[in-house]
Amino acid sequence: MPTPSREGQAQSLSAEAWQQVSFLIPECGILPEVLKSTIADIGEYYVVRNLPIHELVAHEFIDAFVKKGSCYALTYNTKIDQDNTAALLPNGKLILSVDKDTYEELGLQGRPSQYSGKKIMRYIITIDLTDSGFHPDSKKHNRVLWALKEKKPLEFDFLLAWYNTGAEGSTLMSYFSKNQIQALKPKITFSMLRDLQCPVLQSNELQGKPDESCSTEELFEWLGAVLSQVSLDNKSSSFVSTYCCPQPNTIVEKAFLCTITGFIIPEKIIQLLEQLCSYFDEPKLAYWLTLTVHGFADSPVSWRESEHGFHKGGENLYNFVIFRNLDYWLQMAVGTNDDCPP
């Protein structure tokens, strides 16, 4: 069977590959109010159309947002293996992933993409906006600004978000008021799964035990099926999947599933994780719960500043399994074109 290409996947995949955060709580009837409040306060983000990238290296922007909180930016609707892309990280580093022609026109120092192959066709440029040598009127700043503004102007649609702890000043909406900016909220969906087959887990048994508990790998595969809404009944007549829940398992009368889709910053995910850990403060029927975070398939970075490639799917995700005694498992996964997570 031929290997599916990215172009061949285009008909079945949305052109807008969003970030997704999901949590699953078995044996959950009513969601606690504090958890509902955390979900409702997941925060908004912005889409800015046709934003020249040189505006992100302007010192007005750096002083207002990069130095006063955690600022995130990611090019929107760009393909990491085909287009020029960019991302602004909360540590103040601007990462550009550009093709060979763009790299040569810019004239900025970079390095070959580690996924270029023998013939280098893509380069990675890193600009540290918080570098002490990157101050107004410095040669370094003037060189970068000239390259991005005059020599090779680059313009993208951007997703933007900013997290600060009470700093006064401008907002992204007011700062980019002259641009085409739109505020968006993540899409939140709730599902109550009834009579769900769940694997039996023991927090201290990562490999599982025959007839006693399932392994981390079996849990990970099962969770993928549940989040993808794949049937677990192993019917021979199914043309989609013959997968079934691993053994041993138990039937859960009610399981609560919440999925949040959009541009969700780490600070909000941490708040959600903390509330999920607090879920066990009072006696609950649930023995464990999960929190799964899928990163953007077309982000130029995945873990910290590690370069991210697409290959066939651009996978990069992590999953927490949190137990009643607050033991936890952390599972991380990436596609072929990625460094191993830290």
**Domains in the chain: boundaries:** 6-42+186-333, 45-184
Query: What's the residue count for the chain?
Result: 342
For residue 248, what pLDDT is reported?
Answer: 95
Cβ count within 10 A of residue 297 = 19
For residue 330, what pLDDT is reported?
Answer: 96
In Å, how far are 198, 217, 282 from 206, measured between CA atoms? 16, 9, 26
DSSP assignment string, 256-304: EEEEEEE---HHHHHHHHHHHHHGGGS--S-SEEEEEEEPPTT-SBSST
For residue 235, what pLDDT is reported?
Answer: 61
For residue 324, what pLDDT is reported?
Answer: 94
The single residue listed with the structure tokens 């949305």 is 14
Least Cα distance to 300 among 74, 66, 6 occurs for: 74
For residue 95, what pLDDT is reported?
Answer: 97
- CA end-to-end span of the chain, whole Å? 34
For residue 56, what pLDDT is reported?
Answer: 97
Q: Spell out, as residue ranges, where the chain has pLDDT lower than 70.
A: 1-17, 167-169, 233-241
Query: Residue 248: is the preceding peptide bond cis (ω within 30°)?
Result: yes
* 249-262: strand order across its sheet: 187-199, 249-262, 19-26, 288-294, 316-323, 328-334
In Å, how far are 74, 81, 106, 124, 297 from 120, measured between CA atoms? 24, 13, 16, 11, 22
For residue 17, what pLDDT is reported?
Answer: 60
For residue 290, what pLDDT is reported?
Answer: 98
For residue 16, what pLDDT is reported?
Answer: 45
For residue 94, what pLDDT is reported?
Answer: 98
For residue 8, what pLDDT is reported?
Answer: 40
Q: Tell me the pTM.
A: 0.90
Give the integer Cα–Cα distance in Å for 220 and 241. 16
The secondary structure element, H or E, covering residue 78 is none
For residue 47, what pLDDT is reported?
Answer: 96
Give the integer Cα–Cα distance in Å for 26 and 280. 12
For residue 104, what pLDDT is reported?
Answer: 97
Angle at 160 between CA 54 and CA 277, to 5 degrees: 145
In Å, how far are 44, 160, 162, 183 from 168, measured between CA atoms? 18, 18, 13, 20
For residue 15, what pLDDT is reported?
Answer: 36
The single residue listed with the structure tokens 């999947």 is 241
125, 109 in Cβ contact below 8 A? yes
Residue 288: is it exposed, middle or buried by C-beta count within 10 angstroms (0-12/13-18/19+)? buried
